[in-house]
Protein backbone atom coordinates (compact mmCIF):
# COMPACT_ATOMS: atom_id res chain seq x y z
CA UNK A 1 0.00 0.00 0.00
CA UNK A 2 1.23 3.50 -0.86
CA UNK A 3 1.64 5.63 2.25
CA UNK A 4 2.04 9.38 2.61
CA UNK A 5 4.41 11.34 4.83
CA UNK A 6 4.13 15.06 5.60
CA UNK A 7 6.93 17.35 6.77
CA UNK A 8 6.83 21.08 7.50
CA UNK A 9 9.05 23.97 8.47
CA UNK A 10 8.20 27.68 8.53
CA UNK A 11 6.17 28.57 5.42
CA UNK A 12 7.05 25.32 3.65
CA UNK A 13 5.13 22.07 3.67
CA UNK A 14 5.90 18.89 1.73
CA UNK A 15 3.98 15.67 1.22
CA UNK A 16 5.84 12.58 0.05
CA UNK A 17 4.77 9.03 -0.77
CA UNK A 18 6.51 5.70 -0.27
CA UNK A 19 6.10 4.70 -3.95
CA UNK A 20 9.24 5.99 -5.61
CA UNK A 21 10.09 8.11 -2.54
CA UNK A 22 8.21 10.73 -4.54
CA UNK A 23 7.62 14.39 -3.73
CA UNK A 24 3.87 14.83 -4.25
CA UNK A 25 3.22 18.31 -2.81
CA UNK A 26 5.53 21.23 -2.07
CA UNK A 27 3.84 24.36 -0.74
CA UNK A 28 5.80 27.58 -1.22
CA UNK A 29 4.78 31.23 -0.54
CA UNK A 30 4.48 33.81 -3.31
CA UNK A 31 5.52 37.46 -3.14
CA UNK A 32 2.41 38.21 -1.07
CA UNK A 33 2.97 35.34 1.36
CA UNK A 34 0.25 33.14 -0.14
CA UNK A 35 1.23 29.47 -0.27
CA UNK A 36 0.59 27.18 -3.21
CA UNK A 37 1.73 23.73 -4.29
CA UNK A 38 4.40 24.21 -6.98
CA UNK A 39 4.91 20.59 -8.11
CA UNK A 40 2.70 18.35 -10.26
CA UNK A 41 1.29 15.06 -9.02
CA UNK A 42 -1.72 12.76 -9.13
CA UNK A 43 -4.88 13.27 -7.07
CA UNK A 44 -5.33 9.50 -6.61
CA UNK A 45 -2.31 7.72 -5.13
CA UNK A 46 -3.04 4.57 -7.14
CA UNK A 47 -2.55 6.54 -10.37
CA UNK A 48 1.16 6.66 -9.52
CA UNK A 49 1.19 2.96 -10.46
CA UNK A 50 -0.22 3.68 -13.93
CA UNK A 51 1.53 4.80 -17.12
CA UNK A 52 4.70 6.40 -15.78
CA UNK A 53 4.91 10.18 -15.49
CA UNK A 54 7.64 10.01 -12.81
CA UNK A 55 6.00 12.89 -10.89
CA UNK A 56 8.43 13.84 -8.10
CA UNK A 57 9.98 10.37 -7.98
CA UNK A 58 13.55 9.29 -7.37
CA UNK A 59 14.48 7.88 -10.78
CA UNK A 60 17.08 5.19 -11.34
CA UNK A 61 18.98 3.01 -10.94
CA UNK A 62 20.13 5.04 -13.94
CA UNK A 63 18.05 8.16 -14.49
CA UNK A 64 17.49 9.28 -18.09
CA UNK A 65 18.36 7.16 -21.12
CA UNK A 66 20.83 4.39 -21.90
CA UNK A 67 21.12 3.77 -25.64
CA UNK A 68 20.34 0.30 -26.97
CA UNK A 69 19.39 -0.79 -23.43
CA UNK A 70 22.87 -2.19 -22.89
CA UNK A 71 26.31 -1.23 -21.63
CA UNK A 72 29.66 -2.89 -20.95
CA UNK A 73 31.45 -2.94 -17.60
CA UNK A 74 34.87 -4.57 -17.15
CA UNK A 75 34.45 -6.24 -20.52
CA UNK A 76 31.08 -7.77 -19.67
CA UNK A 77 28.05 -6.60 -21.61
CA UNK A 78 24.89 -6.08 -19.58
CA UNK A 79 21.53 -6.12 -21.38
CA UNK A 80 18.98 -4.08 -19.45
CA UNK A 81 15.25 -3.85 -19.98
CA UNK A 82 14.17 -1.57 -22.83
CA UNK A 83 11.10 0.60 -22.28
CA UNK A 84 11.66 3.53 -24.65
CA UNK A 85 11.81 1.90 -28.05
CA UNK A 86 15.15 0.13 -28.16
CA UNK A 87 16.46 2.19 -25.26
CA UNK A 88 16.18 2.25 -21.47
CA UNK A 89 14.48 5.24 -19.86
CA UNK A 90 14.91 5.72 -16.11
CA UNK A 91 16.06 2.07 -15.93
CA UNK A 92 13.11 0.35 -17.51
CA UNK A 93 9.73 -0.73 -16.15
CA UNK A 94 9.48 -1.07 -12.38
CA UNK A 95 12.50 1.14 -11.77
CA UNK A 96 13.03 2.94 -8.48
CA UNK A 97 10.03 5.16 -9.23
CA UNK A 98 7.73 2.11 -9.08
CA UNK A 99 9.19 0.51 -5.95
CA UNK A 100 7.83 0.87 -2.43
CA UNK A 101 10.51 2.42 -0.22
CA UNK A 102 10.81 2.04 3.54
CA UNK A 103 10.67 5.07 5.83
CA UNK A 104 13.74 4.69 8.03
CA UNK A 105 13.76 8.09 9.75
CA UNK A 106 11.09 10.74 10.29
CA UNK A 107 11.08 14.07 12.13
CA UNK A 108 8.86 17.12 11.90
CA UNK A 109 10.88 18.59 9.02
CA UNK A 110 12.72 15.61 7.46
CA UNK A 111 12.20 12.07 6.21
CA UNK A 112 14.57 9.40 4.94
CA UNK A 113 13.52 6.58 2.61
CA UNK A 114 15.49 3.41 1.82
CA UNK A 115 15.20 0.77 -0.89
CA UNK A 116 17.36 -2.25 -1.75
CA UNK A 117 17.44 -3.04 -5.46
CA UNK A 118 18.36 -6.68 -6.00
CA UNK A 119 21.29 -7.68 -8.20
CA UNK A 120 20.06 -8.29 -11.73
CA UNK A 121 16.94 -6.17 -11.44
CA UNK A 122 16.15 -5.02 -14.98
CA UNK A 123 19.61 -6.34 -15.90
CA UNK A 124 21.74 -4.09 -13.67
CA UNK A 125 24.65 -5.72 -11.83
CA UNK A 126 25.12 -5.44 -8.08
CA UNK A 127 22.76 -5.19 -5.14
CA UNK A 128 22.19 -1.45 -4.76
CA UNK A 129 21.13 0.05 -1.42
CA UNK A 130 19.67 3.51 -1.96
CA UNK A 131 18.61 6.20 0.49
CA UNK A 132 16.74 9.45 -0.18
CA UNK A 133 16.61 12.09 2.55
CA UNK A 134 14.27 15.07 2.20
CA UNK A 135 14.78 17.93 4.66
CA UNK A 136 12.95 21.24 4.77
CA UNK A 137 15.25 24.12 5.57
CA UNK A 138 14.68 27.82 6.17
CA UNK A 139 14.73 28.56 2.43
CA UNK A 140 13.42 25.39 0.81
CA UNK A 141 13.94 21.66 0.39
CA UNK A 142 17.26 19.81 0.47
CA UNK A 143 17.53 16.28 -0.95
CA UNK A 144 20.39 13.86 -0.33
CA UNK A 145 20.59 10.75 -2.52
CA UNK A 146 23.13 8.07 -1.61
CA UNK A 147 23.84 4.54 -2.78
CA UNK A 148 26.21 1.64 -2.11
CA UNK A 149 26.77 -1.56 -4.07
CA UNK A 150 28.21 -5.04 -3.52
CA UNK A 151 29.49 -5.34 -7.11
CA UNK A 152 30.67 -2.89 -9.79
CA UNK A 153 27.70 -1.13 -11.37
CA UNK A 154 26.52 2.20 -12.80
CA UNK A 155 24.41 4.68 -10.84
CA UNK A 156 22.67 7.94 -11.68
CA UNK A 157 19.96 9.18 -9.32
CA UNK A 158 17.85 12.33 -9.42
CA UNK A 159 14.52 13.74 -8.35
CA UNK A 160 11.99 14.06 -11.19
CA UNK A 161 9.81 16.89 -9.86
CA UNK A 162 7.70 18.83 -12.37
CA UNK A 163 7.57 22.49 -11.34
CA UNK A 164 5.04 25.20 -12.05
CA UNK A 165 5.95 28.16 -9.88
CA UNK A 166 2.58 29.83 -10.59
CA UNK A 167 1.05 26.90 -8.70
CA UNK A 168 -0.11 23.44 -9.70
CA UNK A 169 -3.73 24.62 -9.52
CA UNK A 170 -3.14 27.88 -11.40
CA UNK A 171 -4.21 26.59 -14.82
CA UNK A 172 -1.26 28.36 -16.44
CA UNK A 173 1.65 26.73 -18.28
CA UNK A 174 5.36 27.35 -17.86
CA UNK A 175 6.03 29.23 -21.12
CA UNK A 176 6.17 32.60 -19.33
CA UNK A 177 8.60 31.32 -16.70
CA UNK A 178 12.06 32.84 -17.07
CA UNK A 179 15.06 30.50 -16.88
CA UNK A 180 18.81 30.88 -16.47
CA UNK A 181 21.23 27.93 -16.80
CA UNK A 182 24.99 28.58 -16.44
CA UNK A 183 26.04 26.24 -19.22
CA UNK A 184 28.03 26.76 -22.42
CA UNK A 185 27.33 23.32 -23.90
CA UNK A 186 24.62 20.72 -24.38
CA UNK A 187 24.98 17.04 -25.30
CA UNK A 188 23.09 16.85 -28.64
CA UNK A 189 20.94 13.78 -29.28
CA UNK A 190 19.91 11.56 -32.16
CA UNK A 191 16.34 10.78 -33.19
CA UNK A 192 15.97 8.45 -30.19
CA UNK A 193 17.10 11.20 -27.76
CA UNK A 194 20.39 9.37 -27.15
CA UNK A 195 23.47 11.62 -26.96
CA UNK A 196 25.79 11.44 -29.95
CA UNK A 197 28.82 11.82 -27.69
CA UNK A 198 29.57 15.31 -28.98
CA UNK A 199 29.21 18.62 -27.19
CA UNK A 200 27.27 21.46 -28.85
CA UNK A 201 28.03 25.08 -28.05
CA UNK A 202 24.83 26.87 -27.07
CA UNK A 203 25.90 30.33 -28.28
CA UNK A 204 23.52 31.65 -30.97
CA UNK A 205 21.08 28.77 -30.43
CA UNK A 206 17.69 28.50 -28.66
CA UNK A 207 19.53 26.62 -25.88
CA UNK A 208 21.41 29.68 -24.68
CA UNK A 209 20.02 30.39 -21.22
CA UNK A 210 23.21 31.95 -19.85
CA UNK A 211 21.26 35.17 -19.67
CA UNK A 212 17.66 34.82 -18.43
CA UNK A 213 15.17 33.90 -21.14
CA UNK A 214 11.43 33.35 -21.22
CA UNK A 215 10.99 29.62 -21.90
CA UNK A 216 8.37 30.15 -24.60
CA UNK A 217 10.49 32.69 -26.44
CA UNK A 218 12.32 30.18 -28.66
CA UNK A 219 10.76 26.81 -27.87
CA UNK A 220 9.29 26.54 -31.38
CA UNK A 221 12.36 27.87 -33.20
CA UNK A 222 13.68 26.26 -36.37
CA UNK A 223 16.23 24.03 -34.68
CA UNK A 224 16.81 20.33 -35.32
CA UNK A 225 17.35 19.50 -31.65
CA UNK A 226 14.08 21.19 -30.67
CA UNK A 227 12.28 19.24 -33.39
CA UNK A 228 13.69 15.96 -32.08
CA UNK A 229 12.60 16.74 -28.52
CA UNK A 230 9.36 18.47 -29.56
CA UNK A 231 10.64 21.23 -27.32
CA UNK A 232 13.36 21.13 -24.69
CA UNK A 233 14.38 17.67 -23.49
CA UNK A 234 18.16 17.98 -23.35
CA UNK A 235 21.13 17.74 -21.04
CA UNK A 236 23.13 20.88 -20.27
CA UNK A 237 26.78 20.73 -19.19
CA UNK A 238 26.66 22.97 -16.13
CA UNK A 239 29.62 24.98 -14.95
CA UNK A 240 31.50 24.28 -11.74
CA UNK A 241 33.95 21.87 -10.19
CA UNK A 242 33.10 18.16 -10.16
CA UNK A 243 31.11 17.08 -7.07
CA UNK A 244 30.92 20.65 -5.76
CA UNK A 245 27.42 21.78 -4.81
CA UNK A 246 26.68 24.91 -6.83
CA UNK A 247 23.88 26.83 -8.49
CA UNK A 248 22.86 25.02 -11.70
CA UNK A 249 19.65 26.87 -12.64
CA UNK A 250 17.38 29.73 -11.60
CA UNK A 251 13.67 29.78 -12.51
CA UNK A 252 11.33 32.77 -12.06
CA UNK A 253 7.57 33.09 -12.43
CA UNK A 254 6.62 36.75 -13.03
CA UNK A 255 2.98 36.22 -12.00
CA UNK A 256 3.63 34.92 -8.49
CA UNK A 257 7.11 36.29 -7.93
CA UNK A 258 8.40 32.87 -6.88
CA UNK A 259 12.06 32.16 -7.65
CA UNK A 260 13.64 28.71 -7.56
CA UNK A 261 17.42 28.45 -7.22
CA UNK A 262 18.43 24.86 -7.98
CA UNK A 263 21.70 23.57 -6.52
CA UNK A 264 23.39 20.25 -7.30
CA UNK A 265 26.67 18.39 -7.08
CA UNK A 266 26.28 16.63 -10.47
CA UNK A 267 27.76 17.70 -13.85
CA UNK A 268 24.60 17.70 -15.97
CA UNK A 269 21.11 19.20 -15.93
CA UNK A 270 18.26 17.76 -17.97
CA UNK A 271 15.77 20.47 -18.89
CA UNK A 272 12.43 19.02 -19.99
CA UNK A 273 9.66 21.45 -20.89
CA UNK A 274 6.79 19.02 -20.28
CA UNK A 275 6.12 18.50 -23.96
CA UNK A 276 4.12 15.27 -23.47
CA UNK A 277 2.12 16.07 -20.34
CA UNK A 278 -1.29 16.32 -22.00
CA UNK A 279 -3.99 13.92 -20.80
CA UNK A 280 -3.88 11.21 -18.18
CA UNK A 281 -5.34 11.03 -14.71
CA UNK A 282 -6.28 14.22 -12.83
CA UNK A 283 -3.59 16.11 -10.96
CA UNK A 284 -3.63 16.96 -7.26
CA UNK A 285 -5.95 19.94 -7.84
CA UNK A 286 -8.36 17.75 -9.81
CA UNK A 287 -7.62 19.07 -13.28
CA UNK A 288 -6.03 17.18 -16.16
CA UNK A 289 -2.71 18.66 -17.19
CA UNK A 290 -1.99 20.05 -20.63
CA UNK A 291 1.34 20.01 -22.45
CA UNK A 292 3.89 22.29 -20.79
CA UNK A 293 1.90 22.74 -17.60
CA UNK A 294 5.09 21.84 -15.76
CA UNK A 295 8.81 21.52 -16.38
CA UNK A 296 11.62 19.37 -15.05
CA UNK A 297 15.09 20.52 -14.08
CA UNK A 298 16.83 17.23 -13.31
CA UNK A 299 20.46 17.44 -12.15
CA UNK A 300 22.29 14.23 -12.93
CA UNK A 301 25.09 12.49 -14.78
CA UNK A 302 24.92 12.83 -18.56
CA UNK A 303 22.46 10.54 -20.40
CA UNK A 304 24.02 7.35 -21.83
CA UNK A 305 27.23 7.92 -19.88
CA UNK A 306 27.84 4.14 -19.52
CA UNK A 307 28.34 4.04 -23.32
CA UNK A 308 30.17 7.36 -23.69
CA UNK A 309 33.78 7.20 -22.46
CA UNK A 310 34.15 10.97 -22.93
CA UNK A 311 31.37 11.69 -20.40
CA UNK A 312 31.80 11.76 -16.60
CA UNK A 313 31.83 8.18 -15.33
CA UNK A 314 28.74 6.79 -13.56
CA UNK A 315 30.65 3.77 -12.21
CA UNK A 316 30.22 2.76 -8.57
CA UNK A 317 32.37 0.08 -6.92
CA UNK A 318 32.02 -1.77 -3.61
CA UNK A 319 33.35 0.34 -0.75
CA UNK A 320 32.45 3.59 -2.51
CA UNK A 321 29.54 5.89 -1.67
CA UNK A 322 27.48 7.48 -4.42
CA UNK A 323 26.25 10.88 -3.23
CA UNK A 324 24.11 13.48 -4.97
CA UNK A 325 23.16 16.68 -3.14
CA UNK A 326 20.19 18.62 -4.50
CA UNK A 327 18.55 21.73 -3.07
CA UNK A 328 15.43 23.58 -4.15
CA UNK A 329 15.98 27.07 -2.66
CA UNK A 330 13.08 29.54 -2.88
CA UNK A 331 12.74 33.30 -2.63
CA UNK A 332 10.51 35.96 -4.20
CA UNK A 333 11.15 38.87 -6.53
CA UNK A 334 9.16 41.76 -7.94
CA UNK A 335 10.66 41.53 -11.41
CA UNK A 336 13.07 39.52 -13.56
CA UNK A 337 15.74 42.15 -12.96
CA UNK A 338 15.34 41.54 -9.24
CA UNK A 339 15.20 37.74 -9.61
CA UNK A 340 18.44 37.55 -11.59
CA UNK A 341 20.32 40.45 -10.02
CA UNK A 342 23.03 38.20 -8.55
Q: Which residues are catalytically annotated?
A: 160, 298
Quote the Cα angle for 301-63-321, to 5°: 60
Number of other residues whose CB lies within 10 A of the CB of residue 91:
29
Cβ(257)–Cβ(333) below 8 Å: yes
> Three-state SS across the chain?
CCCEEEEEECCEEEEEECECCEEEEEEEECCCCCEEECECCECCHHHHHCCCCCCCCEECCECCEEHHHEEEECCEEEECCCCECCEEECCCCCCHHHCECEEEEECCCEEEEEEEECCCHHHCCCCEEEEEEEEEECCEEEEEEEEEECCCEECECEECCEECCCCCCCCCCCCCCEEECCEEEECCECCCCCECCCCEECCCCCCCCCCCEEHHHCCCCCCHHHHHHCCCEEEEEECCCCCCCEEEEEEECCCCCEEEEEEECCCEEEEECCCCCCCCCCECCCCCCCCCCCEEEEEECCCCHHHCCCCCCCEECCCCCEEEEEEEEEEECCCHHHHCCC
Residue 95, Cβ density class (10 Å: 0-12 exposed, 13-18 middle, ≥19 buried): buried
Nearest residue to 180 (alpha-carbon basis) of 259, 255, 127, 104:
259
- Cα–Cα distance for residue pair 197/281, rounded to 1 Å: 37
Give me the half-sphere count of Cα atoms (radius 13 Å) on the Cβ side of residue 91: 28
Amino acid sequence: MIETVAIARGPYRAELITLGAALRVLQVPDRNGNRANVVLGFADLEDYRGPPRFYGAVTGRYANRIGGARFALDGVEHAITANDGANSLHSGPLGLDQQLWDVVALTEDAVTFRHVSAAGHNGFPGTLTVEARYRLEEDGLAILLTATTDAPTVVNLTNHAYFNLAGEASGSNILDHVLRIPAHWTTPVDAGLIPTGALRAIADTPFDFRTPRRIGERIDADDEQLRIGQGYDHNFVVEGADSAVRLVATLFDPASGRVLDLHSSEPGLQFYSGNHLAGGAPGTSGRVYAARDGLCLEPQKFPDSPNQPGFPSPRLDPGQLYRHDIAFRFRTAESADDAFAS
